[in-house]
Amino acid sequence: MARFKRILLKLSGESLMGKQGFGIDPERLDDYAKQIKEVHDMGVQIGIVIGGGNIFRGLSGSQKGFDRVKGDQMGMCATVINSLALSSALEAIGAKAKVLTAIRMEPIGEYYSKWKAIEAMEAGSICIFSAGTGCPYFTTDTGSSLRGIEIEADVMLKGTRVDGIYTADPEKDPTATKSQTLLMMKYITRV
């Protein structure tokens, strides 16, 4: 018996690139698809939000001279590319998957609505929510929190390269320490 009825899984774009350092590693993608299908086969309804950092991030783009809004739109398109890749990998192993987009772009994916998503999950599809919130100046972490609340998920789970919240990026700073608990106000005052 699964612990949760419905989950929102957030995968960072970077986690898809495997050892390649860029883009999508087909082996990593296949591995994720198998793990997701395994959980789905236990009867858990799954909504997924994928980032786009393996392809493009608006903020880094704007530091290189891109217009921020266009850069963020490029980032959102990157999340659509990752979502299509994951849906394809899921379908290849016999799982039903549906890509919904926060920006209209039929026939690539249907335009997102909470009710469409819930209906599809109830009917046995794994839903992939692409293009984040559809708005610039946000990230897919915000998008996944939003979608998680909207679809009434029991829990939001985040799959990323770092296993918790650290005082600094542990991949860049070897002195970074992991926080066991984090108080919202303490975090806000620190940043």
The residues binding ligand UDP (CB under 6 A) are: 12-14, 51-53, 57-59, 71-72, 75-76, 78-79, 132-133, 135-136, 138-143
Least spacing, CB of residue 3 vs ligand UDP, in Å: 25
CA distance 159 to 20: 18
Partnered with residue 99 across adjacent β-strands are 128
Nearer to ligand UDP, 74 or 96 (CB): 74
Nearer to ligand UDP, 66 or 96 (CB): 66
The answer to whether 6 touches 114, Cβ cutoff 8 Å, is no
CA distance 68 to 191: 22
Q: Which of 151, 150, 170, 152 is nearest to 160 (CA)?
A: 170
Least spacing, CB of residue 50 vs ligand UDP, in Å: 7
Q: Which of 11, 130, 142 is nearest to 81 (CA)?
A: 130
Nearer to ligand UDP, 12 or 125 (CB): 12
Nearer to ligand UDP, 142 or 156 (CB): 142
Least spacing, CB of residue 164 vs ligand UDP, in Å: 16
